Structure 1
Amino acid sequence: MTAATTVANFFKKILTELYQNIYQLLGGSLDDQTLSLANIGLSVLRTSIKIVILLVLIGFIYWLLVYVVKTLRKLFGLSHRYARIARAILRYLWFMTSLLAFMSQIGLQADTVKATAKAATWAGFYYALWAASGQMVSRVLKHYELNASIEQLLKNLLLVLILALAFATVMAKFGFDVISIVAGLGIAGLAVGWASQSTLANFIAGIVILVEQSFQVGDWIRLGDKEGRVVKISLRATQILDRDNIIIIIPNSSVASSEVVNLTSKKMIRFEVTTRIGLHADITTARSAIIKTLQKDEVVLKHPAPLATVAEIGESGIRLVVRFWVAPLSVARIPVIKENINEKIKRALDEAGVEVPFPHMKLLLDNPKLGSEQ
């Protein structure tokens, strides 16, 4: 026997076995040894017609129930939310009934169909539980005025928990050993957790940051030598946007263990600049010129009013501290604001005739008369 004949017989045997399996699936018997294409075609046609009739009947019932829901909503003025929930339930029942009808007609065992029905029922129950828990979390967080990041975190945790329970329940309905699966997943989880301790630490720190709400997205914070606006708080890291339009990503474990200064936690923030006037200059005139200048500035708040006080009287002049308040939205531009205020103060003092000294040294030399000649 040649190699080509051997290969041909091999594939012929595979096709014959496949043909017999399909024939048995369609309800035929190999005992009568009548594997005719006509019989198989008729069997396929009969099965297809039954499936189509069942699907059309189920679809008609589904359409009728949806129509009833719409009519009841119009008659009794039901909320659109409840009508949407009812349509979602009907859609799920229509899909699962169609699937079970199809499975029952293609020759699957009754135990498989029953297990699928039970699994579908439990899956629907867990989906309803997830939807209800999401609404409950939203209401609770809204009552306590917690931010959207915590809401999304809790919803994600609930989703993972419900998915795990649903997976275990569905697998149990199909005869799988759920305890062994859970044990295996637990061991794998411990191994992964041990290998990624830093990631776990960042995850826990992210939860602490979201729960404590020491700062939120949009706040301007200072963290060590880093300063910027918070643009994202994830479970792994916090992202801030600095004044140079650069995103800085800081691990949550570092944020939780460092001193964080929130510059926008209140409705206004105070800053200060310093200036000097001469020792013989009139302090009242200088203060009046500085205050008038700050009151004309659009960024500086009128209440509380800006102040100019004497901080030090030194050898080269009098140092004044000028304090002013700005709104949180102006914090990102505070270096430019200070520079502009310094420039305006210099011009105001010049216009008021107030001397602005600079460090200098004056040498006084005596010129004694020369002694008498010897």
Structure 2
Amino acid sequence: MAIASITEFFQEIARDLHTSFYLAIGGTLEEETRDWSSRAADLASTGIKIIILLALVGFLYWLTIYILKHNQERLRLSERRLKITRSVLRYIWIVLSIIAVMSQTSVEPGTVKATAKASTWAGIYFVLWTTSGHVIHKVLEHYGLNASIEQLLKNVLSVLIIVLGMASVMAQFGFDIVSLVAGLGIAGLAVGFAAQSTLANFIAGITILMEQSFQVGDWISIGDKEGRVVLISLRTTHVLTRDNITIIVPNSNVASSEVINLTSKNFIRFDIRIRIAFEADIDAARAVILKVLEETNNVLARPETSATIDEIGEYGIFFKVRFWVTPAAVARMPKMKEGILENVKKALDAADIAIPYPHMRLLMPKDVDYPIPTKPFETTTHIATNKGNSD
């Protein structure tokens, strides 16, 4: 009994597969007898037609590419334009191949027509999406606007093109775009409440790009992080440090933090501290320090450098040395300071100007006789008092 049930189960599966395959090659359920030979002939005929159409479309694609490649100079096509043209032709070739296959199969004519229209709209929006960045760059370059605004416009335009492209493609298959947009609006509100941090970063990114407090290429300091701005997107700001490490900072953090733009002006001042001994000649030391700065690359002659007394401390006299550099030298500032300090040390040594180290000097009266210890580790304590004469 069990074996018969299992056999009947597998027979039922075989019949279903047999029917499905027959329907796939063009047969119908209404036929009393299944004519496999005629179905096979129809299938072979359809396959031959599809192969002929695909070969014809492929030949036209190859011929067009051949003509463009061998007439590139005559048509004045640059490498970039030729690449774009080949991409468009390749897309047309793929779309025509799909439509050719659909037209020879059991796909309804309405679906084939909708696919052709949708593919056309998708191709148009794809071309707009790929060329929009170049167009925006040329327009902003003509009007002298910076790269930050360019990045903002590229992002906004890309989103608009993608949304409009999807709407146009879906409209060809009968989707109600108005209802879809309304549904997306309601869903957008729900997503907005669920992704408040992302929206905050987005709004902060637009604010940063519009205010232009700093731009791509500027050297900035955010908290304890410092580096060159390499990208300002709608969600994050990318900063490249001196260690070649990219720090990705959310725009909301950037907008709420104190940002120091080190390269917003034509030149920037830095300072270092140098210590000399109390007995050293201040003017001679100043001349040595200024001479080192004069011979240092990337240190500007105007505005003038300076070396002034900043502090008279416990262990020496401190100079504050101020010098100016261009924005291009900011990235190398730690190395520059190290080089200046090293060269100043060598120059002071050559001029016999001492650089003291922390020490303590004990001054003892000469007219006081101190007992000499006679036993190992014996110590004596002597308290000297000075008595003044009273009038």
The question of a shared fold, defined as TM-score above 0.5 by the shorter chain, is answered with yes
TM-score (norm 1): 0.78
1:205 partnered with 2:204: yes
What is the CA-CA distance between 1:341 and the residue it aligns to? 4.0
Q: Is the 8 A contact 2:155 2:234 kept in 1?
A: no
What is the CA-CA distance between 1:327 and the residue it aligns to? 4.1
In structure 1, stretches of 5+ residues that fail to align are none
Amino acid aligned to 1:59: G
What is the CA-CA distance between 1:248 and the residue it aligns to? 4.7
Point out the more displaced range, 282-291 or 96-105.
282-291
Partner of 1:290: 289
Any residues of structure 2 matched to 1:142-161 within 5 Å, and which? 142-146=141-145, 150-161=149-160
1:261 partnered with 2:260: yes
1:183 partnered with 2:182: yes
Distance 2:85 2:350 in 1: 77
Cα distance change, pair 109–227 in 1 and its aligned pair in 2 (3 A): closer
Partner of 1:193: 192
Point out the more displaced range, 343-352 or 302-311.
343-352
Deviations 1:304-336 (A, max 9, x none): 442223557899986543222234454355456
What is the CA-CA distance between 1:194 and the residue it aligns to? 1.0
Q: Is the 8 A contact 1:26 1:106 kept in 2?
A: no
Partner of 1:174: 173
Distance 2:227 2:186 in 1: 42
Partner of 1:324: 323
Q: Is the 8 A contact 1:274 1:319 kept in 2?
A: yes
Q: Secondary structure at the match of 1:285?
A: helix
Deviations 1:161-189 (A, max 9, x none): 22222222222222233333333322222
Distance 1:351 1:252 in 2: 52
1:93 partnered with 2:89: no
What is the CA-CA distance between 1:239 and the residue it aligns to? 4.2
What is the CA-CA distance between 1:292 and the residue it aligns to? 2.0
Partner of 1:51: 50
Amino acid aligned to 2:126: Y
Partner of 1:105: 104
Partner of 1:272: 271
What is the CA-CA distance between 1:60 and the residue it aligns to? 3.0
Amino acid aligned to 1:35: R
Deviations 1:260-315 (A, max 9, x none): 11223344321223456678865433332322233233464444442223557899
Point out the more displaced range, 178-187 or 41-50.
178-187
Partner of 2:121: 122
Amino acid aligned to 2:128: L
Q: Secondary structure at the match of 1:175?
A: coil
Distance 2:390 2:75 in 1: 121
Distance 2:291 2:88 in 1: 69
Q: Is the 8 A contact 1:26 1:107 kept in 2?
A: no
Partner of 1:252: 251
Amino acid aligned to 1:322: V
Amino acid aligned to 2:60: I
Q: Is the 8 A contact 2:148 2:212 kept in 1?
A: no
Cα distance change, pair 366–88 in 1 and its aligned pair in 2 (3 A): closer
What is the CA-CA distance between 1:12 and the residue it aligns to? 3.4
Q: Is the 8 A contact 1:25 1:106 kept in 2?
A: no
Distance 1:302 1:288 in 2: 15
Cα distance change, pair 188–309 in 1 and its aligned pair in 2 (3 A): same
Point out the more displaced range, 98-107 or 245-254.
245-254
Distance 1:196 1:315 in 2: 58
Higher helix share: 1
Q: Is the 8 A contact 1:349 1:355 kept in 2?
A: yes
Cα distance change, pair 167–4 in 1 and its aligned pair in 2 (3 A): farther
Deviations 1:78-99 (A, max 9, x none): 5555555544444333322222
Partner of 1:23: 22
Distance 1:36 1:74 in 2: 59
Deviations 1:119-175 (A, max 9, x none): 222222322333443332121233344555654553343333222222222222222
Cα distance change, pair 128–348 in 1 and its aligned pair in 2 (3 A): closer
Partner of 1:38: 37
Amino acid aligned to 1:236: R
Distance 2:339 2:87 in 1: 61
1:224 partnered with 2:223: yes
Q: Is the 8 A contact 1:308 1:323 kept in 2?
A: yes
Partner of 2:381: none
TM-score (norm 2): 0.76
Q: Is the 8 A contact 2:277 2:355 kept in 1?
A: yes
Cα distance change, pair 33–321 in 1 and its aligned pair in 2 (3 A): same
Give the aligned length.
Answer: 370
Amino acid aligned to 1:44: L
Matched-pair identity in %? 54
Point out the more displaced range, 45-54 or 183-192.
183-192
Partner of 2:59: 60
Distance 1:117 1:155 in 2: 29
Cα distance change, pair 24–194 in 1 and its aligned pair in 2 (3 A): same
Q: Secondary structure at the match of 1:235?
A: coil
Q: Secondary structure at the match of 1:272?
A: strand
In structure 2, stretches of 5+ residues that fail to align are 366-384
Q: Is the 8 A contact 1:220 1:229 kept in 2?
A: yes
Q: Is the 8 A contact 1:219 1:265 kept in 2?
A: yes
Q: Secondary structure at the match of 2:124?
A: helix
